[in-house]
Amino acid sequence: MLFLLRMILYGIGIPAAILAVVFALATSNKDITLPKWELNSADIQRAKSILHANKQASDKPLNLNLTERDLNIACTYLLNVYTNSQSQIQIVDNYISFDLRFALPKNLFGRYLDMQFQLHTPDKQTPKINHLHIGKIAIPDSYAGLFIDTLIEQTRLDNYLKVIRQNLKLFRIQNQTLHLVYQSAITANSNFQQLLTPKTDNLALEPYQEKLNQALREHDPDWRLSLSNVLRPLFQLAWERSTAKNAIAENRLAIFVANRYVNYYPGSTAHRQKTDTTPKYSVFLYKRIDMAQHFMWSATVTAIGSSQLANILGLKKELSDAKKGSGFSFIDLAADRAGIYFGKQATASPEQALKIQEKMATIENYQAFMPDIRDLPESLTSQAFTEQYQSIHSARYQKVLEDIDQRIAASKIYH
C-alpha cells in the first residue's frame, strides 16, 4: 500500500515539477529595451486601414505594400486591444523577425512572457516559422509552425488569419517591404469587423445586465437617467461578487455592460424610448448625452488594457471635429480623460478595484467621479484652435490638460 501511495504521489508530482520548470524557463523578470511604439493619429489611421482593408476590397484582389513601420504600428494597435504588450518587428532580407513581450498576471515565476520567431518567405512556398523561442525554451523548427497555430487558435485572430491564408496569392519581401496580395472574400467581412471588439463572456455578463435592467425598471421616467444611476447598481453587484482574486474582472464586466447600454442603445437623440419590456433611456452627465458616451467608451477601452489607444482616439476625434464637424471640444476631451482615469483606477490592482467598488456602490451623484467641466472651451474650428493654442504640443494647450487632470484626480472616489 505504501509503495502504491508513493507511485501515485510521484505520478502527480513529476508532471507538476516539469510544468513548474517550463514556466520558470518561459517567463522572466528581466527588463528589456523593446520599443514602446507611441502611435500618433496618422499611425492609428494607417493601422485601421491595414486591418480593415478588406472592407473596401469588394471581393477583388487586395494589394498591400507594408513597410517595417506599418507592421509595427498595426501589431501595436491590434495587441493593445487585448493585452499589455511590447513588440518589435524587423524586415531582414527574406524573413520577418518578431520580438514580443506580454505582461502576465502576478505569479510565482515571472512578470513577462517573451516570444521571438522568424517568418521566412521561401520562393513560391507558403511562409514558414523558424527559430521560435519562448523565454529560454527553443522550439524545433518542425514544431514551430504548429505551436504558433495552436496559440492563435485560442484567440480571435484565428478567423482573421484563416481568411488571409485561404485566399493568399502573394507573400514576398522586396526592398524592405512586405508585398501581400490576397483575394478578398465578402463573406469574411464580419470576421474583420469583429476583430477589434474585445471578447466577452455573455454568460458572465448576464447578472450585470439583469441588475441594470432592474435599475431601469425602477427609474422614474420623468427624470433624466444619469450615469451614476447606471454605474451605481453595477458596482454594487461587483462589490457583492468580488474577492481580491476576481475584483478586476468583475469591474471590467460592470464597465462593459454600462458602456454597451450608454453607447449602443437607445440612441443619443431621444430622452426616453419605451419598449414592451425594459424601458430604455438616454444617459446623461451634466445634462449632456455626449459626455456620458465619451466617458464610458474611454473607460471601457482603458479597462481592457488600452489607455494609450483610448487617449489617442479621443484626441483624434476632436482634431477631426475641428476640421469638419462640431468643432474641437475640451469638454469631450475631458470626458475621455475622466473615463480613462476611471478605467485605470478600476483595474489597477485587486486592492484598488475593491476600493473603487466600495465607493461607487454608495455614490450619491456623478460628481463623485466626473468633475464639472462645462466651463471648458468647445466648438473650436481648426483655425480658432490654432489661433488660441497653436498645437497640441503648446504650453497653453498642455496647461488646459493639466487643469483637467487635476479636476479629475480630485474627484471623491479617488480619495
Q: Is the pLDDT reported for residue 219 higher than 70? A: yes
- Residue 3 reports pLDDT greater than 60: no
Task: Kindly report the pTM of this predicted structure.
Answer: 0.59
Helix H or strand E segment including 166: helix 157-166
Residue 300's pLDDT band (boundaries 50, 70, 90)? confident
Name the residue among 311, 332, 310 with its Cα closest to residue 321: 332
For residue 313, the model assigns a pLDDT of 64
Could you tell me which residues are beta bridge partners of residue 88? 99
Q: Give the SS3 label for residue 40.
A: coil
- Higher pLDDT residue, 360 or 304? 360
> How confident is the model at residue 273, as a pLDDT?
42
User: Measured at the alpha carbon of residue 122, what is the angle toward residues 120 and 124, in degrees to the nearest 5?
Assistant: 135
Q: Is the pLDDT of residue 196 over 60?
A: no
Split at pLDDT 50, 70, 90, the class of 189 is very low
pLDDT by residue (tens digit) across 158-185?
A: 655 666 666 677 778 888 888 877 665 5
CB atoms near residue 395 (< 10 Å): 8
For the chain, which residues make up each domain, given as ranges? 32-194, 202-414
Indicate the range of 82-96, 189-203, 343-357 predicted with least confidence: 189-203
How do residues 301-359 score in pLDDT, each as one tens digit? 888 766 666 666 667 677 776 777 778 889 999 999 999 999 999 998 999 999 999 99
CA atoms within 13 A on the CB side of 10: 6
**H or E, element range at 396:** helix 395-409
Distance CA 55, CA 361 (A): 43
- pLDDT the model gives residue 42: 62
- pLDDT, residue 161, reads 65
